[in-house]
Structure 1
């Protein structure tokens, strides 16, 4: 049983779609992964490469996903099934990937709420030992009631409530409110960081272009970051585009969403790198950096408590705008393809991913207590926890995007895709021949490079 097009939700405005899609793309990885990668790969040199990768590969894959969704007006699985039933599994791969990501994403989202409250009520306790505070939240000294249950449950409840209200009344309204607020916070924090005593070194590093720092690894890291930061490969953009009317300009929408996402990454870089240079703390990536190392940075700067409160509010906004898009991908599939009622579906899916997410946090704590690791292809993981990230970042996401570009470029065909992108010739697409080449050849090859580098060469690109 499937839901007819007439009964589906729809974005009420172009702005609503752009902010919602940008909210999906803007996630935790933009805030804490990008600055570390920029710092470790040449600063300004990396920025140039990153922008090129977004412009060439990121926009190509995003437009490919947009045309699939808008053409069929269906979720990721339904879209592929309608165009070629043999390839519906490609959409299924995306939905599965999003579900796994959301299992641990909601846990981290809960941690942002915990830290917002901590900076309001007990910042001195956080500052006493930032690393110990973070590890205690994970449960190294007992069951992590707050880190694994209470605050992740609050975060998931907020996400579920928004999704249960549908596209226009839930996703679109929240995105119109949160995305401008996110940009205001980010720009304000960036300005504050750049004016700290000693921050000039970090600003100069981010603006300096040094060709000698560019190598093959730099391109792969930039390509990987550009690809993953845009929420590609999990069917989210296919689902979001399915809520667009045939009058919307997919070409311009793709450009605007990619520009907004890139701006967030750049602003985050100019926020964090000058701040850590001002305090002498090396930037890094991941949860430990965001919740432990940066807490030490805030402790070391004037007005750090307010700075920290705003930063974790920023992380919360980035997390929830991404989580609603990922959950919507799974819910849309079950509602449209299985005939399930929307609100009940949200509850059932949320319950399952919450239980799995609890084990993610528990595994992080267990690793820190016991120091137990296991390895796969030379890459070490704590039990369960980082394996979920490895599975999605290095396998499922890139494979999903690879098969999507192959489908659009070779199975469905670029002529059909361009016809949909231009709304049957209504909108001009002067770069259509170049895009067709990119989606058929350059994008699949680039994605394969990501897979090979991350899976077989052991490079950290995600």
Structure 2
């Protein structure tokens, strides 16, 4: 297959790793994965999760890497450039999966940028010392304080929109600088900083008297928790946690070097993602148990339990600043990755400058997000299928678009693409021939295992 010459690209294997990891790391690593691990059997859940990463997550990552690096194009344009197809006319049919990734990346950014704005707001509050008062409150008053603080943050439309604007302004500035000077430089700086901050929080958390309870909750293997629901949860996480079916991996792999070890990158990112999630849990749950709080997930954990727990520790506000800084980093790198999808599409398909593509993309994200996802916004009261627009965007992407896109991608690469073309691309034209057996397993998974598992995920999401 002829390869287009990309003017932009990542400069080294390390920066490729950091950028791709930045696309996988997000708020879910902090407010979802650790909790689901704890309530579903700890290490038992992690083992099952890693199994699904191997048979579902990595094959789909490699399928998107194939589409992206072999064409150097955006998720929609890529299907016009793929030549090694058994049925060339099928490319146009499967092009719809590229359209879905575009819609997904935009829908996610509408509400994700709002949540990231809440994180930035809490980081600012921590820096100002707004949570210091929690140290002298009893638990009941402290709980009421954190609940009120979160309600005010979400319901105050002007403040929420301001922080959403700040978040997207940062994303705009980074993307406007390009791949190497923007995405690469920022992710290569922020990922190590995030790791250092997590280690600092871990060290302090593990010094607490109830650290053992936190570790046990997160890591103690409990195979009695293995059930159909638990397996479906692990399966779903393996599918949703690695930026699959959002267009990010297609776009980023278009910036990879031709000698990049795609299999190596997929494993490194998948394993690092799990490790960071566990480390985040070790920073959170010992502190939560220290003050007799119940472990939770989502906004309740991030914006209520965390401020309450950390503020009661010696030098707790410093730790709280560090924690919300690492959370802001995770949210920012994820948004940079997601926003690059429409930027790449606009610049290639309409032949306009990168800066103009960035401004158009982030402006749309801000305007629609600001007008729809906040309770007090103009369209905040609109409901579709009995869901407000925040929940509608979330439900549509997670339960409909991403599973369908993943299914179409698996079928396209598994059945439509010539096997030789896929094997050559993934093994770097035979330079990585030692992985040929694994590549054959990946193809089997794309043809058989992935479609079955994705259909199960799709059905279970409507239970």
TM-score normalized with structure 2 length: 0.90
Partner of 1:296: 308
Q: Secondary structure at 1:169's aligned position in 2?
A: helix
Which of 285, 292, 297 is the aligned partner of 1:280? Answer: 292
Which of 401, 405, 417 is the aligned partner of 2:422? Answer: 417
Q: How does 1:284-363 map to 2 (within 5 A)?
A: 284-363=296-375
1: distance between equivalents of 2:92 and 2:307? 50
Which of 221, 235, 253 is the aligned partner of 1:223? Answer: 235
2: distance between equivalents of 1:265 and 1:366? 36
Partner of 2:153: 137
2: distance between equivalents of 1:126 and 1:367? 36
1:35-77 deviation per Cα after TM superposition (whole angstroms, max 9, x unaligned):
2211221222212212222232211111111111011111111
2: distance between equivalents of 1:286 and 1:58? 23
Q: Is the 8 A contact 2:59 2:442 kept in 1?
A: yes
1: distance between equivalents of 2:206 and 2:419? 45
Partner of 2:127: 120
Q: How does 1:374-393 map to 2 (within 5 A)?
A: 376=385, 381=387, 383-393=388-398
TM-score normalized with structure 1 length: 0.91
2: distance between equivalents of 1:252 and 1:268? 24
Deviation at 1:416, TM superposition (A): 2.1
Alignment CA distance shift 1:277-1:414 (3 Å) = farther
Q: Is the 8 A contact 2:125 2:131 kept in 1?
A: no
Q: Is the 8 A contact 1:138 1:365 kept in 2?
A: no
Q: Secondary structure at 1:6's aligned position in 2?
A: coil
- The answer to whether the aligner puts 1:403 opposite 2:402 as a matched pair is no
Q: Is the 8 A contact 2:373 2:389 kept in 1?
A: no
Partner of 2:100: 93
Deviation at 1:340, TM superposition (A): 1.9
1:143-189 deviation per Cα after TM superposition (whole angstroms, max 9, x unaligned):
42111x21111110110111111111110011110001111111221
2: distance between equivalents of 1:131 and 1:91? 41
1:290-338 deviation per Cα after TM superposition (whole angstroms, max 9, x unaligned):
1123222223333321221111101111011111111101100111011
Alignment CA distance shift 1:35-1:338 (3 Å) = same
Which of 168, 188, 206 is the aligned partner of 2:218? Answer: 206
2: distance between equivalents of 1:73 and 1:387? 32
1: distance between equivalents of 2:46 and 2:315? 29
Q: Is the 8 A contact 1:363 1:384 kept in 2?
A: no
1: distance between equivalents of 2:62 and 2:429? 15
Deviation at 1:366, TM superposition (A): 10
Once the two structures are overlaid, the 10-residue window that deviates more, 257-266 or 283-292, is 283-292
Partner of 1:17: 16
Runs (5+) with no aligned partner, structure 1: 458-462
Partner of 2:60: 61
Which of 165, 178, 184 is the aligned partner of 1:153? Answer: 165
Give the aligned CA root-mean-square deviation in angstroms.
Answer: 2.2
Deviation at 1:250, TM superposition (A): 1.1
1:70-124 deviation per Cα after TM superposition (whole angstroms, max 9, x unaligned):
1111111111232223322211111110111011111122222211111111324
1: distance between equivalents of 2:6 and 2:429? 24
Partner of 1:460: none
2: distance between equivalents of 1:367 and 1:198? 45
1: distance between equivalents of 2:92 and 2:278? 40
Q: Is the 8 A contact 1:63 1:254 kept in 2?
A: yes
Partner of 2:137: none
1: distance between equivalents of 2:106 and 2:255? 20
Deviation at 1:288, TM superposition (A): 3.3
